[in-house]
Structure 1
Amino acid sequence: MPKETNRPFVLAAVMLAMFVGAVEATIVTTAMPTIASELGGFSRYSWIFSSYLLMSTVTVLIYGKLADLFGRKPIFFMGVTIFLIGSILCGFAVSMEQLIVYRLIQGLGAGAVMPIATTIIGDIYSTEERAKIQGYLSSVWGVSAVSGPVIGGLIVQYVSWQYIFWVNVPLGLLSMGVIYFFLHEPKETQKASVDYKGAFLLTSALSTLLIWLVEGGQGFGRFSTFGIALIILSGISFWLFFRQEKLAKDPLISFSIWKNPVILYANLVSLTTGVILIGVSSYLPTYVSGVMEQPAIIAGFTLTAMSIGWPLASSLAGHLLIRFGPFLVSFAGGVSLVIGTTMFVFMTSTLGPVWAGFSSFFIGVGMGLTNTSFIVTIQGAVPRVQRGSATAANMFMKNFGNTVGASVFGAILNGALITYFTKEKLPYTIDHVNTLLTKDGRSMITSQELVSLQSGLDSSLHWVYITIALFAVISLLLILRIPRGKVTDHVNH
């Protein structure tokens, strides 16, 4: 590496950029009720999250590839610039539809931030150092997941919701400035060719699948003619995408690196842990507020326990990886995920928020151990020219898990609630559950209604938790397939 790179400065800038990108997925959660009441269009609610996740998931792979071809810096700048333009526009949105379009632009840029930030770290640190540094980077995820809603709540309460988006601008510019002056990369000598056809097919495959997952059962029947047409279109696009990747000179996903069992199983586990993470962070507060009747701040604290476990386990993973290798560290993480999710299955309203907090702490520990060992191992398993693509493929799987999980758990919860109300012959709809989530809402209904709605929510959320636990068991089984051995660093040049 050229000597001029100032590693501590670059690390700080990378962590700042990652924080801004990661927090943007969650900071909106607390502000959404305010934004929805101001802009109208409650039926489009979930698209504010889905549009951002969709674009950042789809573009992760494209940016990873571009970073391998053109160098990390120019692509990082391009991504952050698009992200900041989207952020500024979001603050000026006057309707839900406009906001969704601007969130798509934001997500389009955010896709560059995560994989390239992680790849830059892979370039400037050796494997031994990377294991420790990766602990810091992983904890950015945990911290942003939990601090996002809090920061969002404070901004909405004391300033106005527009600033949730505008606060990104000075932070993003600062990060770009530091990277510009302090990161010096070797010149790239490759002839560049980007697989645009593959990118288009992948976008079409994922978009149609997501529309089916998010809108199915709301905007149209999942198995109506339109619903089935979407599934078929998605399937054909995936098939064409895989065919295109085999033919392309510079494929978007080089399936050759997936033949490496470490990469294959690490990516599959990242998909299942992505599903678990979104399930816990979306539906634990609902249980604590609705069934345990705790205020929002307590519901928030039960999730904070996860963000305490996560960075602790991440920094510990860095030290353990060098001594014991990736298999044992990720196995310990998998066991911790199973313990945490099993505690959710057995959670009752009488056990109180402390039980919920401990469960989410175990899940945080599991996330910290698995995520850190995977990124370090994957980056060590490929040469520098493939590191951007390999890192991006792992992020893609994690994001894809988040996106699919959000839709699947939403469908399970809604389905279970409707079934419960029908079976018990209760005259409620899903929207009645909203009254349980605040003290004011609960005071407006009779005690009999309260009991029947709560037992409905309780039993329905348990189906969600059982599914989350199932994904934890699958994660553990997949981890058992990871080859044993120490972390090795591939030739860096």
Structure 2
Amino acid sequence: MEESMQKKTNRTLVLIALVLSMFMAAIEGTIVATAMPNIVADLGGFRLYSWVFSGFLLMQAITTMIFGKLADLFGRKPIFIIGVSIFLIGSLLCGFATTMTMLVIFRLLQGVGAGAIQPIVTTIVGDMYTVKERAKVQGYLASVWGISSVIGPLLGGIIVQFVEWSWIFWMNIPLGIIGLLGVIRYFHEQVNKEKKAIDYNGAGLFLIGISSLIIVFVQAGTVWAWLDWETISLFSLFIIFMIVFIFQEGKAPSPIMPLFLWRNKLILIANLATFFSGMIILGLSSFLPTYVQGVMGESAIIAGFTLSTLSIGWPISSTIAGHLVLKIGFRKTALLGGCALLIGTFMFFCLTAEKGPIYAGISSFIVGVGMGLSSTTFIVSIQNHVNWNVRGVATSLNMFMRIVGSAVGAALLGGILNLQMRAFIGTESKSLDVSNIDLLLDENRRKSMDTEMLEKIQNGLSFGLDHVFNGLFIIGILAFLIILFFPNVQLEEAEES
């Protein structure tokens, strides 16, 4: 099948179209974050602020697996077209939103489309290229995320300052149309025309179960307490529906999530390591800027620099991983990535305010190197290890694990921060409150604060974030230990399987 596709498909033009589509979906997260203050000022509804991001993540998480399976059943091309079309409709409507509620609803629609774009793009690349080419091309594709992380905030600031925030969403439309036309015109695939069995019951159970879990991670610890009835009810709902889902997948003729994938050691180890690396990434993204601004007393620009180095390290090492896989194999490349994650998180374990933002930036860069080496290796090894008819769902499953890991990491590490800060305030400084932390993140108000009060608040935030970074190091250790069990699969063996 892959040989026939290569004769018909213009791989260069299709790859350009795929990169543009991937860039469109990747930049959406960072570019929206920059514009949110202006959006809130225009639309109001600050109480829904977090749902502009969480709603997008929720729908992306619960649709990634489903689109991956549909791509295996009906081919990559139609599912890619559907996904990009939904994303563009959502983008168009987001720009026309007149209330925050409308924006959240349209972001949900965008998230549905995003659930198709990333896994299907990655799967198409896996289909078009040979086993030796995949490693390099997937590395190039991974660099799109790093580039978008650096460009997104800058571009968002320019658009908000010189045009208006609606164009943050509308700029997706020309990119998406070019991507669609490129795939429609130049990508060709052969798909079995026989009648397909769709696991509707499995899809429904999965949607309800994972939605319940993600909502718990979004709401618990902030809107709800972890022991509130809403949290317990939704978590119970998740457990019940996922148990029924597993039974359903065991008997379905064409399951949404084939259970045999979890019995494959390579896929199991890659997915577990990806889950923990997802926790690390969102943990750093959420809390490193707060530490640099609040504890070190640096500006938002400096805080952004310390995080952007991660986005620089990731694409560089992703490209290198493509070459290393061919020279030293999957296992050694993955182990190098695991070592970098371990070293990077250990450096955050040792982080103090005195070490300064350059130390934090170097630590972040090393974590990015670990992510690039490991994530590219995992995707390529999985795609080389499975047949065409499950490549889409296997690729989507790995990406799904990163999304869920990110949600779990944000909830777990955020819970640790709140718990430790309350403990500090309760024992060390009765005059403080958690809400005082807001003062640290406003540069002007911070300068006008009493020196003694400023020091107390910084000590409280530092105490809480030290425990967060301790947690990151423990997660880094777990990721490394799991990668130690990654099997030594050869390129030739993987291609034949």
Residue of structure 2 equivalent to 1:130: 134
Residue of structure 2 equivalent to 1:252: 256
* 2:491 alignment partner, SS class: coil
Residue of structure 2 equivalent to 1:288: 292
Structure 1 pair 485/67, CA: closer, same or farther in 2 (3 Å)?
closer
* 1:488 alignment partner, SS class: helix
* 2:224 alignment partner, SS class: coil
Query: Which residues of 2 match residues 175-190 of structure 1 at below 5 A?
Result: 175-190=179-194
For 1:13, which of 17, 20, 23 is the aligned residue? 17
Deviation for aligned residue 1:417: 2.0
Residue of structure 1 equivalent to 2:330: 326
Deviation for aligned residue 1:331: 0.6
Residue of structure 2 equivalent to 1:464: 468
Deviation for aligned residue 1:199: 1.5
CA distance in 1, matches of 2:455, 2:254: 59
The range that moved more, 355-364 or 91-100, is: 91-100
Deviation for aligned residue 1:191: 2.6
CA distance in 1, matches of 2:42, 2:244: 42
Deviation for aligned residue 1:318: 0.8
Query: Which residues of 2 match residues 346-357 of structure 1 at below 5 A?
Result: 346-357=350-361
* 2:329 alignment partner, SS class: helix
Query: What residue identity is the alignment partner of 2:34?
Result: T
Contact 1:50 1:403 in 2 (8 A): no
Cα deviation digits, residues 150-173 of structure 1 (max 9, x gap): 322222222222211111111111
For 1:442, which of 440, 446, 466 is the aligned residue? 446
Aligned positions, number: 493
Cα deviation digits, residues 212-246 of structure 1 (max 9, x gap): 22212333322123322222111111111111111
Query: What residue identity is the alignment partner of 1:218?
Result: T
For 1:232, which of 227, 231, 236 is the aligned residue? 236
Please, what TM-score do these two structures have when normalized by structure 1?
Answer: 0.96
For 1:117, which of 115, 121, 128 is the aligned residue? 121
Contact 1:30 1:153 in 2 (8 A): yes
Structure 1 pair 264/117, CA: closer, same or farther in 2 (3 Å)?
same
Contact 1:384 1:492 in 2 (8 A): no
1:152 paired with 2:167, answer no
Cα deviation digits, residues 26-47 of structure 1 (max 9, x gap): 2222222222233223232222
For 1:370, which of 374, 380, 389 is the aligned residue? 374
Query: What residue identity is the alignment partner of 1:59?
Result: T
For 1:452, which of 456, 459, 466 is the aligned residue? 456
Structure 1 pair 339/190, CA: closer, same or farther in 2 (3 Å)?
farther
Contact 1:14 1:117 in 2 (8 A): yes
Query: Would you identify which runs of 4 or more consecutive aligned residues in structure 1 move more than 6 Å?
Result: none
Contact 1:381 1:488 in 2 (8 A): no
The range that moved more, 122-131 or 296-305, is: 296-305
Residue of structure 1 equivalent to 2:491: 487
Deviation for aligned residue 1:49: 1.2
Query: What residue identity is the alignment partner of 1:323?
Result: K
Unmatched runs of 5 consecutive residues or more in structure 1: none
Residue of structure 2 equivalent to 1:298: 302
Identity %: 46
Query: What residue identity is the alignment partner of 1:394?
Result: N
1:44 paired with 2:48, answer yes
Contact 1:380 1:488 in 2 (8 A): no
CA distance in 2, matches of 1:227, 1:187: 44
CA distance in 2, matches of 1:50, 1:75: 24
1:92 paired with 2:96, answer yes
Contact 2:385 2:495 in 1 (8 A): no
Residue of structure 1 equivalent to 2:146: 142
For 1:221, which of 201, 225, 230 is the aligned residue? 225
Query: What residue identity is the alignment partner of 1:204?
Result: I
CA distance in 2, matches of 1:427, 1:138: 48
* 1:308 alignment partner, SS class: helix
Contact 2:333 2:377 in 1 (8 A): yes
Deviation for aligned residue 1:445: 1.9
For 1:205, which of 194, 203, 209 is the aligned residue? 209
For 1:336, which of 336, 340, 345 is the aligned residue? 340
Residue of structure 2 equivalent to 1:60: 64
CA distance in 2, matches of 1:313, 1:228: 41
Contact 1:337 1:472 in 2 (8 A): yes
For 1:271, which of 257, 269, 275 is the aligned residue? 275
For 2:383, which of 367, 376, 379 is the aligned residue? 379
1:71 paired with 2:75, answer yes
1:101 paired with 2:102, answer no
Cα deviation digits, residues 147-198 of structure 1 (max 9, x gap): 3223222222222222111111111111111111111112333431221211
Query: What residue identity is the alignment partner of 2:308?
Result: T
Contact 1:321 1:329 in 2 (8 A): yes
Please, what TM-score do these two structures have when normalized by structure 2?
Answer: 0.96
Contact 1:322 1:486 in 2 (8 A): no
Contact 1:272 1:401 in 2 (8 A): yes
Contact 2:221 2:411 in 1 (8 A): no
CA distance in 2, matches of 1:409, 1:72: 37
Deviation for aligned residue 1:489: 5.8
Deviation for aligned residue 1:492: 7.6
CA distance in 2, matches of 1:47, 1:492: 45
Deviation for aligned residue 1:428: 3.4
Query: Which residues of 2 match residues 402-421 of structure 1 at below 5 A?
Result: 402-421=406-425
Residue of structure 2 equivalent to 1:313: 317
Structure 1 pair 226/257, CA: closer, same or farther in 2 (3 Å)?
closer
Cα deviation digits, residues 40-71 of structure 1 (max 9, x gap): 23232222111111111110111111111111
* 1:27 alignment partner, SS class: helix
